[in-house]
Amino acid sequence: MKRTIALPATALAVLSLAACEDATGPDNDEFHFNPRVIEGEWRGQALPGDLLEIKGISGDIQASASLDQEIVVKWTKRGQQDDPASVSVQVVQHANGITICAVYPDVPGQPDNECLPGDFGHMATQDIDVDVDFTVTVPAGVDFRGRTISGDINADHLRGDVEGATVSGDVSITTSELAEASTISGSIEASIGRSDWDRDLAFTTVSGSLSVSIPANTNAEVWATAVTGSVSSDFSLPVLHDGSIRGTLGSGGALLRLSTVAGSVRLRRGS
């Protein structure tokens, strides 16, 4: 499917770029169908407290725990009619960590696309049917943020704070620390390992269900809502007249917000 996406612009200098790519795959001109694949890899070091951020436009993001302090990021670019080489992968090293982006060709007459930490920056894409899938290993103590427009995000058994955000796709997160997630069209499943929270956490979708697991001894405020769908909890929390749940766990603290429009919400008791 071809797509056009426009996002807001900001500015930051690219401090470092490292990528190595090899193209493989046959051409088939008989049906004007050219499935082509380009693969690449980047390796680097990170310290506890650093942030590793992966930002895509179309494609999945898969993150898993690293056995050491090395970050390994691999990507696969696939194009059907369009050339996957037209989409670049850029690596930006900055004071807070590392940001890696799939950068699509610029739209004539608009600002050049940039790989920027923190938000999507300017990424107005031409009508290109190239998907970029990322697989990432994340060291212990390194925070991870995965963002894409069309694609799933899966962060499996990480040992740092995790944030996953997509527009069209599912989000799945398991971490020993804190997590947040959002999608517009898709479901969210998450497991948080930390019971002491230093900030509010939110899990939101518009069309999809939520299932979030937190430690049994968590101290927090909870507000869970579903416009068309059920809300349930393994904890004893007050149910309001509209079916939502709002109450206090333990001695209270930061707010846990669970919200969907069309779907179910379940708050689960973890270990």
pLDDT at 120: 63
258 to each of 91, 110, 195, 223, 269, how far by Cα in Å?
33, 37, 17, 6, 15
In three-state secondary structure terms, 84 is helix
Q: What is the model's pTM? A: 0.85
HSE-up (13 A, CA, CB side) for residue 139: 19
pLDDT at 35: 60
Radius of gyration for the chain, computed over Cα atoms and rounded to the nearest angstrom: 20
Query: Residue 251: is its pLDDT beyond 80?
Result: yes
Which stretch of 8-17, 184-193, 230-239 has the lowest confidence by average pLDDT?
8-17
Share of the chain above pLDDT 90, in %: 75
pLDDT in tens, 24-66: 333 433 434 446 899 999 999 999 999 999 999 999 999 999 9
Quote the CA–CA distance of 10 and 177 in Å, as a whole number. Answer: 30
Mean pLDDT within 121-149:
87
Confidence of residue 8 (pLDDT cuts 50, 70, 90): very low
HSE-up (13 A, CA, CB side) for residue 116: 16
Angle, alpha carbons 155-159-160 (nearest 5°): 85
Confidence of residue 189 (pLDDT cuts 50, 70, 90): very high
Category of 15 on φ-ψ map: left (φ > 0), alpha (ψ -120 to 50) or beta: alpha
No. of helices (H) and no. of strands (E), the chain = 0, 21
Confidence of residue 211 (pLDDT cuts 50, 70, 90): very high
Burial of 233 (0-12, 13-18, 19+ CB in 10 A): buried
